Structure 1
Amino acid sequence: MGRPRATPEARPRYRRDGRLGESFEIEKRYVRGDNSLVWVSNSVSAIRDGHANIAQAVAISVDIGERRHAQEIERHLASMIASSNDAILGIDLGMTITSWNAAAEKLYGYSEREAVGQTVLMLVPDDRKEEEPTILRQIKAGQLVKPYETRRLRKDGRLVEVLLSVSPIRDANGRVIGASKTTHDIGSRKEAERLKSILVNELHHRVKNILATVIAIARQTIGRDKAIKEDVVAFENRLLSLSKAQDLLVHGEGQQADLGAVVKQATSPYPCEVFQIDGTSVSIPPKAAVLLSLALHELATNAAKYGALSTPEGRVSISWQDETRACGPLRIIWREHGGPEVTTPQRKGFGSTLIDRLLSSELRGQTKVSYEKSGVICIIEADLSKISESSI
């Protein structure tokens, strides 16, 4: 072991106590043979001769490296807690506040002096008082409380939206003695979500009004001639399908729609028992949701006129395979059976043209329709990775 490196503040005491011959303890850093540092606690005692003069000194050295390391960790954690932007407080098993950082003071309005020693229930609104006993039961069992959204009460009486997580505090023997509660203020985020919901609903309302206006104009403009009344009804039904697809996007906050929900919405005008729907949950972007809804509407309309849905015994199976995780396409299979014998049509109708053009140009995919005698089979492939996230 090399020369000691006493801390500067310890040197005066070393010299003073050494002159007086008093016993003392001092912590030093020593340099080992490998040039690494070690912390040591020295207990120094003077040995006097027969004339009461100091003849020599005895030092007992104890390696305190682990203790110093633990102290450094404690100081580091204390610094992190003190400077955290999240409110962090400690409570004992009686729900009494034992520690309180600066962010807690900012969030709740209570100073550390006002909060420590008080019950944590002072932060809980009356309608959520049952939360704390439930949390305490989990903590006593040594369990972590997963982050969850709730409300807490400020000193001025205002409620704040927070994300709360709780973990047990243990003593040196591993016994649970309290809990650490971390609270993140999510008020701004919740307000932004509420505003977004209002805007999305307002936009949805306006879109629905526009579609209703288009239907009214169609009825007044091209619906007077009985010969084309069927075309007007078909046009109205397509707009209604588009409107229902917009409903799905509103429920998904305009970001994504579930493919299963799109399929069920598109087939909702017909009895549910005639469909067999099979596929995993797949989230699709807004444009894909609208276009697939229109495509499925056209397939169902044609099936009701000429195919499986035109007879009581007819059935339709709709299944899909999601290969997007493997950089493959989304593959949807529409298969009719039990209906009248199918023949290939002499000309391509509007619905088939709509499906081909929309899916090929907008969904970056392809459609293959087979007119088997047992029923129509339509395979739709769409590359979702190439679809713009913007709505149609």
Structure 2
Amino acid sequence: MTSSEHLLGPLPAAAYTTDANGRITYFNDAAAELWGHTPEIGKDEWCGSWRLRTADGDPLAHSDCPMALALREGRAIRGAEAIAERPDGTLVPFLAFPAPLRDGSGKITGAINLLIDISAQKQAEVQTMRLASIVESSDDAIISKDLCGVIESWNASATRLFGYSAEEAIGKHITMLIPADRQGEEDLIIGKVRNGERVDHFDTIRRRKDGREVAISLTVSPVRSPAGKVIGASKIARDITDRKESEHRIRMLMREVNHRVKNQFAVILSMIRETGKHTATIAEFERQIRNRIMALSRSQDLLVDGDWRGADLANLVDNQIRPFAAGHRVQISGEPIMLSTVAVQNLGMAFHELATNSAKHGALSSPGGTVEVVWTTSGRFRLTWKENNGPTVEKASRNGFGKIVLERIAPLALNGVGHLSFEPNGVTWTLDAPVESIRNAEL
């Protein structure tokens, strides 16, 4: 066994030697494994790899490898990086440590080279860079801290969320973000982290640099050392302000819907009660109730289409009269006005009762009859329903449900006064009410 075999053979690192001309004189098993190739002793030069690349991946001639440079320049090279390409195409990054060998007179007689496989290190670097890129580009604030609560890392989203730059935050205690009334949360979180537990989707409040509070969803995970010991915590904070506002709006909407549904029930119960007083048969009662509830439903559709903010008066008139008459028989004029929900419901009932009566006894029962609906909003809200060219009408002998709606229910609900008159050419209904009782105040 040669001295090279005796010294280099057992090494776990790749090692080989060359003569003064660069011809390989020895290599150990670890070198052959790194190269994935077995060079010819005394023939192959400089490096035993099948092919070589630079650290950037460009082709590298064997004569330009670190061993060749060490022999040409007569000096040791510490940690030159290159890549060995195996015959199967596998790339193995390594660090080379070539050093010339000299005799007693100082003449170069050969060289020795140690090759350190850094594949795992490179993979770790890639993973670290990828993770760093993910952290930095994340829309969530990602912060790490030690077990004492001192901030160690801070991404760009943390700056956007909390207002502090990384320079301002790193090295400071995490409690700078916690409102005074929530300081106890940090002890609970750190306690769980020390036990290796994860805190998942914890909704809380944190304080920005400008003093404003922000609603966040917080996830905290233990950070461990290579040995598995918990050494800190990683926090992911997501701004949930929009979600909280949406939840609040939904709760408000549900309360409002509940209130309005109760109002609708009250209106329907009133319809049933009053209709029952003025119908002689069950069939007539069923027909009138069905039609009135359908009219109420049409008004409800307009409110839904308007996100419960109200409905346009012209649309409401058209919506309620359309089932009874062609468009050319109805003239609508007045400046645009968005009605409140109360006005939609009550005027919708009024228009339904007027249209129903007109189709049975008034202008819409006659081929040449027309209906004109006009309103103004200057000072007060004044609306007129006027029928023309219809049959001669007589004043109603009794107070039916329609008359009650037009003279009592709708006007009173709108803080106004309603008047129903029976002219020779048709019915006229007027409503006078404060504009603020009609218009949607939110628009």
Q: TM-score, normalised by structure 2?
A: 0.47
Specify the SS of the correspondent of 1:28: strand
Matched residue, 2:354: none
Matched residue, 2:53: 5
Matched residue, 2:233: 179
Mapped to 1, the partners of 2:225 and 2:116 lie a distance apart of 25
Which of residues 72, 91, 94 in structure 1 aligns to 2:145?
A: 91
Encode CA deviations 1:270-329: one digit per residue, 9 max, x unaligned: xxxxxxxxxxxxxxxxxxxxxxxxxxxxxxxxxxxxxxxxxxxxxxxxxxxxxxxxxxxx
Matched residue, 1:167: 221
Is 1:137 aligned to 2:191, yes or no?
Answer: yes
Which of residues 84, 90, 103 in structure 2 aligns to 1:30?
A: 84
Which of residues 172, 177, 194 in structure 1 aligns to 2:248?
A: 194
Specify the SS of the correspondent of 1:90: strand
Matched residue, 2:368: none
8 Å contact 2:81–2:96 — kept in the other structure?
Answer: yes
Mapped to 1, the partners of 2:173 and 2:74 lie a distance apart of 52
User: RMSD value over aligned CA atoms?
Assistant: 3.1
Encode CA deviations 1:187-219: one digit per residue, 9 max, x unaligned: 112212222322332232222112112223433
Structure 1: give runs of 5+ residues left out of the alignment: 240-392
8 Å contact 2:201–2:219 — kept in the other structure?
Answer: yes
Q: 1:116 to 1:53 in 2, by over 3 A?
A: same
Mapped to 2, the partners of 1:67 and 1:181 lie a distance apart of 27
Q: 1:113 to 1:179 in 2, by over 3 A?
A: same
Structure 2: give runs of 5+ residues left out of the alignment: 1-34, 36-49, 294-443
Matched residue, 2:167: 113
Matched residue, 2:209: 155
Specify the SS of the correspondent of 1:24: coil
Q: How does 1:194-233 map to 2 (within 5 A)?
A: 194-222=248-276
8 Å contact 2:143–2:152 — kept in the other structure?
Answer: yes
Q: 1:31 to 1:16 in 2, by over 3 A?
A: closer
Q: CA deviation at 1:171?
A: 0.6
Q: CA deviation at 1:221?
A: 4.3
8 Å contact 2:57–2:83 — kept in the other structure?
Answer: no
Q: CA deviation at 1:223?
A: 5.5
Mapped to 1, the partners of 2:130 and 2:228 lie a distance apart of 21
Mapped to 1, the partners of 2:77 and 2:200 lie a distance apart of 53
Mapped to 1, the partners of 2:166 and 2:107 lie a distance apart of 53
8 Å contact 2:100–2:110 — kept in the other structure?
Answer: yes
Q: CA deviation at 1:146?
A: 1.6
Q: CA deviation at 1:126?
A: 1.6
Encode CA deviations 1:135-158: one digit per residue, 9 max, x unaligned: 101100011112121111111111
Matched residue, 2:73: 19
Q: 1:55 to 1:172 in 2, by over 3 A?
A: same
In structure 1, what residue type is equivalent to 2:249? Answer: L
Mapped to 2, the partners of 1:111 and 1:128 lie a distance apart of 23
Specify the SS of the correspondent of 2:233: strand
Aligned residues: 231
8 Å contact 2:98–2:112 — kept in the other structure?
Answer: yes
Specify the SS of the correspondent of 1:38: strand
Is 1:128 aligned to 2:182, yes or no?
Answer: yes
Mapped to 1, the partners of 2:56 and 2:192 lie a distance apart of 48
Identity of aligned residues (%): 37
Encode CA deviations 1:243-288: one digit per residue, 9 max, x unaligned: xxxxxxxxxxxxxxxxxxxxxxxxxxxxxxxxxxxxxxxxxxxxxx
8 Å contact 1:21–1:54 — kept in the other structure?
Answer: no
Mapped to 1, the partners of 2:91 and 2:69 lie a distance apart of 26
| Structure whose CA Rg is larger | 2
Specify the SS of the correspondent of 1:110: coil
Matched residue, 2:136: 82
User: Post-superposition, which runs of at least 4 consecutive aligned residues in structure 1 deviate over 6 A?
Assistant: 9-13
Q: How does 1:1-392 map to 2 (within 5 A)?
A: 1=35, 2-7=50-55, 14=66, 19=73, 21-222=75-276
